[in-house]
Amino acid sequence: MPAKIGLALGSGGARGWAHIGVLRALDEIGIRPDVVCGTSMGAVVGAAYASGALDALEHYANALTQIRVRRMLDVNLASGGLIEGKHIVRLLCDLGFKPTFSEVDLPFVAVATDMAQGREIWLRSGNLVEAVRASIGIPGIFSPVWAEGRWLLDGGMSNPVPVSACRALGAEVIIAVNPNSRLYLPQRGTEVEETTRFYGMEAVLGTAPAQLRPLLRKYLGGNGKPARPTPGYLSVLSTSINLMTDQILRSRLAGDPPNVMVDLDLQDMTALDFTKAERAITHGRDAMMAKAGILKQML
């Protein structure tokens, strides 16, 4: 009897487009996961795969422009985040995500974090799109989601690459994909990435009412001047989350390692570079193909 294969797709914002390439590579080498678990962007791509909507998601990702990204954002400062996320929910439905977990093609788990108790929550029943939206609830950017009687935040706060969820669903050979694996190498230096500061801020400002833009610009930080400015709100938040999830992931994987680890080198992308999908997808495919020999030996 063949081993049951689990695929754990990690968080990483726009870097998570690489998961599409990973799934394309697995298809090329004739391996289909029996179980898929995803955190944050990994939940988006995993749910698309389980829904049979991966082609539609890839087409959408490759066609993204900064203008289309801005149209997807709905600023609401009273929602517990900068962005409420209703447009994203509609988008996922339009792309063909199945309405409920019971309708997907294989066992799938979306990982979120319980805001009150600070622990991971495995979402595997009920409304699929609502679960994915909860899993991408990056604190300070997206508003939390009320689901199953609790406020839920991004799953990366508790389990950035959900190997444990795959194992709990009976997977015997687990492939883990980490889009953030090389962000903090020593040779990288100590400079905070500034691209999130300008692109991220302008994306949010472009969706806000005109009368609120001066206040938001002052609050988020930055005036567009290039000479070593103070890091802006989104840059500080993004870097802080990257550091935190990196430390959580190291601890989790030390006690619960996968059978095959696919580490992605996407240092030239930020978590908000959603218009660079083609680059991320290509890298994800290449990184998975590089592990094909090891994986086939295990199977």
So which residues are the catalytic ones? 40, 154
Q: How far apart are CA 20 and CA 266, in angstroms?
A: 14
Q: How far apart are CA 202 and CA 269, in angstroms?
A: 17
Q: How many Å is the maximal CA-CA distance in the chain?
A: 64
Q: How far apart are CA 165 and CA 124, in angstroms?
A: 11
Q: At 35, phi and psi to the nearest 5?
A: -140, 135
Q: Where are the alpha helices (DSSP H) in the chain?
A: 18-28, 41-51, 54-62, 66-72, 86-94, 128-135, 163-168, 195, 201-205, 213-220, 233-255, 277-290, 292-298
The DSSP letter of residue 13 is G
Residue type for 190, please?
Answer: T
With beta carbons less than 8 A apart as the criterion, state whether 292 and 259 touch: no
Number of C-beta neighbours around residue 67 at 10 A: 10
Residue with tokens 């595997």: 124
SS3 call for 186? helix
Exposed, middle or buried, 182 (CB in 10 Å: 0-12/13-18/19+)? middle
Q: At 166, phi and psi to the nearest 5?
A: -60, -45
Residue type for 71, please?
Answer: R
Q: How far apart are CA 286 and CA 25, in angstroms?
A: 8
175 strand-pairing partners: 7, 260
